[in-house]
Amino acid sequence: MNLARFPRIRLGHLPTPLEPMENLSRHLAGPNGGPNLWIKRDDCTGLSTGGNKTRKLEYLMADARAQGADTVITQGATQSNHARQTAAAAAKLGFECHILLEDRTGYDDAAYTQSGNVLLDKLHGATVSRRPGGADMAAEMETLAAELRAKGRKPYVIPGGGSNAVGALGYVNAALELVAQAAEIGLRIDHVVHATGSAGTQAGLVAGLVALNSGIPVLGIGVRAPREKQEANVFALAEKVVAHLGLPGIVKPEHVVANCDYVGQGYGIPTEGMVAAVKLLAEQEGILLDPVYSGKGMAGMVDLIGKGHFKPGENVVFLHTGGAVGLFGYPEAFALPAEAG
């Protein structure tokens, strides 16, 4: 595998830190001990408060530039972290940026519709427009692209979450980075756990870890689709990624595992487990998770630890995919105490 043959524009502060979570490991250990919990800080990629989309955008924006584009179009839910990081990357690289936001939750309060990621999309100078929940967002982007082309622009369309074979190369790169980092500190990684949505992160990670013959299994905690659909989406994309890498067929269905028991009522809708997980990491480790992805991912990991899914002494790495800016879109969810005095 030779990742360097794909065009890339550096946007992230890489490598991101790989840190032990000693307090959380101790807090969650049972009478027979528990797993050693680590965290891979992809919330610290640097671009406009960071997150996992930065790695994908390194390859996507390079592809856009290689194709002669001057404009990027993308889409996401109202509090999309992908939209925010795309807006920032476009600003830095001198592209015009158009963002279509789908109202997937039906929340219409000012915090949700204007603060958090939406505030930052606009600060980065993106043109933001909204679409109703359930709209065909891929078709909406194509319609906008045609309008912009008619005006003489050269648009490049980035799919939701930046999840295609080009964007997922960012997580092949993350797999190489993680395995090298672990080797350097003598850490035997037994599991990687992260929140999975549009599938690019898991597909790229699995592709990279399998290409390296690392033997490290990945568990995606779903935030939207049911398990079968999520695993099928990730597998289909992982197959495209390894073909793009010149290694067709190396990813097998058994390499793709998702657990979608922690979605709750739906995408972007808070769960008790998410609220508890966000508070737990904030209080135990001083780390901010997000309400839509990493909070639900961590809720899943915490619950699975309680159920003995990981053996005592195993090393489990939680990939923190970012998104804490989204907390400002959900101030009510956390029922925080009144101020003292």
Ligand X SMILES: *Cc1c(COP(=O)(O)O)cnc(C)c1O
Q: Annotated active-site positions, please? A: 80
User: Which range in 1-9, 88-96, 290-298, 305-313 contacts ligand X by CB under 6 A?
Assistant: 290-298
Cβ distance 55 to 81 under 8 Å?
A: no
| DSSP letters spanning 88-135 | HHHHHHT-EEEEEEE--S---SHHHHHSTHHHHHHHTT-EEEEE-TT-
Question: Contacting ligand X (CB under 6 A), which of 115, 201, 259, 271?
Answer: 201
CA angle 241/245/250 to nearest 5° reads: 70
Within 10 angstroms of residue 330's Cβ, the number of other Cβ atoms is 25
For position 290 contacting ligand X by CB under 6 A, the verdict is: yes
Radius of gyration for the alpha carbons in the chain, expressed in angstroms and rounded:
19
For position 322 contacting ligand X by CB under 6 A, the verdict is: yes
Note if the bond before 20 is cis, omega within 30 degrees: no
- From the CB of 165, what's the least distance to ligand X, in Å? 13
SS3 breakdown of the chain: % helix, strand, coil, rounded to 5? 45, 15, 40
Sheet holding 127-131, edge to edge: 127-131, 96-102, 71-77, 155-157
For position 328 contacting ligand X by CB under 6 A, the verdict is: no
Number of residues that bind ligand X (CB under 6 A): 20
For position 45 contacting ligand X by CB under 6 A, the verdict is: no
Site map for ligand X, 104-143, x if CB under 6 A?
----------------------------------------
Nearer to ligand X, 239 or 290 (CB): 290
For position 82 contacting ligand X by CB under 6 A, the verdict is: yes
User: CA-CA distance, 109 to 112, in Å (whole number)?
Assistant: 6
Question: Contacting ligand X (CB under 6 A), which of 36, 54, 71, 321?
Answer: 321
Nearer to ligand X, 6 or 293 (CB): 293
- From the CB of 291, what's the least distance to ligand X, in Å? 10
User: CA-CA distance, 229 to 73, in Å (whole number)?
Assistant: 26
Q: Could you say which residues in the range 152-191 bind ligand X, by CB under 6 A? A: 161, 163
For position 71 contacting ligand X by CB under 6 A, the verdict is: no
Question: Contacting ligand X (CB under 6 A), which of 34, 35, 50, 51?
Answer: 51
For position 87 contacting ligand X by CB under 6 A, the verdict is: no
CA angle 280/318/74 to nearest 5° reads: 100
- From the CB of 199, what's the least distance to ligand X, in Å? 5
For position 197 contacting ligand X by CB under 6 A, the verdict is: yes
Cβ distance 248 to 207 under 8 Å?
A: no
Give the binding site for ligand X (CB under 6 A): 51-52, 81-82, 161, 163, 195-202, 290, 293-294, 321-323
